[in-house]
Chain A
Amino acid sequence: ILNVEQSPQSLHVQEGDSTNFTCSFPSSNFYALHWYRWETAKSPEALFVMTLNGDEKKKGRISATLNTKEGYSYLYIKGSQPEDSATYLCAFSGSNTGKLIFGQGTTLQVKP
């Protein structure tokens, strides 16, 4: 069974702090790595899909990096705001079927 691990499990930061979390995935048979944001009472929304080693993606204050050789991805949030509070999920794809294996998520709470 392929394992996708996220750390930390939860994080509490103050407004304005920058933060980052990690996603570890199998380094063999890599096809793509997805990041999703899941806010309470809403459905998960895609942030990024990364496919190439060394990929960096950015969306506003959120960015992500990818290292397929060692099997990890980092998600960074610069200057966290209360509206960034959510669970951040990463998901690994090992084939072109579109099937994903999700990590357990990192829950971020940003205090005003």
Chain B
Amino acid sequence: DVKVTQSSRYLVKRTGEKVFLECVQDMDHENMFWYRQDPGLGLRLIYFSYDVKMKEKGDIPEGYSVSREKKERFSLILESASTNQTSMYLCASSRRNQPQHFGDGTRLSIL
């Protein structure tokens, strides 16, 4: 079974902090994705990566950056956290054009 592991289920940070959300997959998938999910807005793509060191902006990249130094790990970075980044963050991975496999999510609160 594919396993996508997100480093934290719940996280509380302060405004202005630099926040790292980590995601690891164990199936050698080329693609990895970061989404945020907000009530009434569905899943919105922040960034995705189709190979090591390759990344592409999604629909809402502002305020975020990503890092993919190794194939199995995709990190989402909030450079200077703000209260409007309080949300549920989901990581996913897939082979090209195959279904995505999701982690359990990180519920991030920025105070």
User: Could you tell me the distance in whole angstroms from the C-beta of B23 to the nearest C-beta in chain A?
Assistant: 12
Question: How many residue pairs between the two chains, A and B, have CB atoms under 8 Å in the bound complex?
Answer: 64
Contact A1 B59 (CB under 8 A): yes
Contact B42 A96 (CB under 8 A): no
Contact B103 A46 (CB under 8 A): no
Contact A43 B43 (CB under 8 A): no
Compute how far the CA of A110 lies from the CA of B33 in the bound complex, rounded to whole angstroms: 31
Q: Chain B: how many interface residues by the 8 Å CB criterion?
A: 29
**Given A89-B42, A104-B41, does the pair A98, B102 have CB atoms closer than 8 Å?**
no
Residue of A nearest to B4 (CB): A43
**Given A98-B31, A98-B94, does the pair A46, B100 have CB atoms closer than 8 Å?**
yes
Which of chain A's residues 86-106 have a Cβ closer than 8 Å to chain B? 89, 91, 93, 96-105
Q: What secondary structure prevails in chain A residues at the interface with B?
A: loop
Compute how far the CA of A34 lies from the CA of B99 in the bound complex, rounded to whole angstroms: 7
Check B84 for interface membership: any CB of A closer than 8 A. no
Interfacial residues, chain A to chain B (CB-CB below 8 A): 1, 31-32, 34, 36, 42-46, 49, 89, 91, 93, 96-105
